[in-house]
Structure formats: C-alpha cells, structure tokens
Amino acid sequence: MRRLILRALLPALALVTLSGCEYFGLLRPSVLKQLNPRVVRLVNYFPRVDDQNEAIVARLFAHGGLSHAKQGADGVFRDVIRVPPGEYMWYPAIIVMKRGGELELDFYNQDPYSHHAAFLPNVGERHAMVLPINTRGRARIRLDQPGLYWFGCPVANHAPRGMLGLIIVEGEVPAEAKLDRPRQPRG
C-alpha cells in the first residue's frame, strides 16, 4: 500500500519541484514554438560566451539566431545573412568563426519595403555596403584576433529596431592582449 501511495505521489512531487525551476517555463507550448533551430543554436552557444557578454547577446539576438561560418578550401570562412520582408533583423544575427581570418558574407535583402546597409568590422577600416530593395551583396572582411565584433544597419533607426549583428571569432587570446585583472562579478 505504501508503495502504491509513493508511486502516485512521485509524479506530483516531481511536478512541484520542476515548477520552481526556471527551465520548466521553457516547456510551455507557446515558448516551444519560439525555439526554432536558429534560436536553439543560439541558446546552446551561450555557455561559450563570457558572463557579461552573454547577457547582452541574449537580449539583442533572441530571434535572429546563430550560424557557424563554413571554411572553404581556400581558407576563407563564408556565411549568408538575409533580411526577411518587413522585419528589421539579420538572419542569422550572430556569426561564429572558429578562428581569425577572412570572412565572406553574402547579404540578401528580401525586404520589398526598405533599403538597408551593412556597416561591418574589418582589420583597419570598417567596410560599408548598401543593400537596395530585393538585392544581394557580398562583402569580404578580415578579423585577425579572437573577440566580439559588432555590425549593423546605419540606415535611419534600423539598428535600434533590431538590425544589429555580432561576429564571434573564437580562439585563444594572446597573453599580451589579456587584461591583468580577475574576472569581475556581474549582478
């Protein structure tokens, strides 16, 4: 009899325990709809971004998703970024490179309502490219060092509406580039 009661109470106890857990909220059907493959890649990548930047990246790029640039036989990393119709968002919003080097980005403005532009980081001077309505453009930039590199659309108020992007260059930071201080608590 006691076992029967325990079997009946165990699922209820598990439900009560999980309801206090913040991850339990992810199991709601309305939230699961938002977890498309782009967002899942983004959420899974967060532990690899340091604490202070993880919070910034999570707030700004919740829906644009994440992509890992593919390295070609010529050593150049490549990826495609698109702007869907009527949205002020880069898809993907975050590009990850395994190491520093050249990155070729193929931009596709699918927005029939607005022209856009890409203002990109680059060793030396930044690179700028105009993207008229329903056009494609290709930019090749060089990012030699590991770090976070921001890019955006400088047209009107597009960046504050969501047209900000991030390129994460992975790799070990050279000793001379590291800050000589302990990790700072965030709160």
pLDDT digits (tens, 9 = 90+) for 99-109: 999 999 999 99
pLDDT of residue 64: 79
- Whether 97 shows a pLDDT value over 90: the answer reads yes
- Whether 67 shows a pLDDT value over 70: the answer reads yes
pLDDT of residue 46: 61
Report the alpha-carbon distance of residue 62 to residue 42 in Å, rounded.
8
Counting other chains too, the contacts that 52-61 makes at CB distance below 8 Å and 24 or more residues apart are 52/184, 52/186, 53/148, 55/186, 57/94, 57/166, 60/93, 60/162, 60/164, 60/166, 61/93, 61/94, 61/164, 61/165, 61/166
**pLDDT above 70 coverage of the chain, percent:** 60
Q: DSSP H helical segments within the chain, as ranges? A: 2-19, 29-32, 37-45, 51-60
Q: Name the residue among 158, 3, 168 with its Cα closest to residue 79.
A: 168
CATH topology for 23-174? Immunoglobulin-like (2.60.40)
Per-residue confidence band for 8, with pLDDT thresholds at 50, 70 and 90: low
- Whether 24 shows a pLDDT value over 70: the answer reads no
- Asked whether the whole model's pTM tops 0.75, one would answer no
Per-residue confidence band for 186, with pLDDT thresholds at 50, 70 and 90: low
pLDDT of residue 29: 47
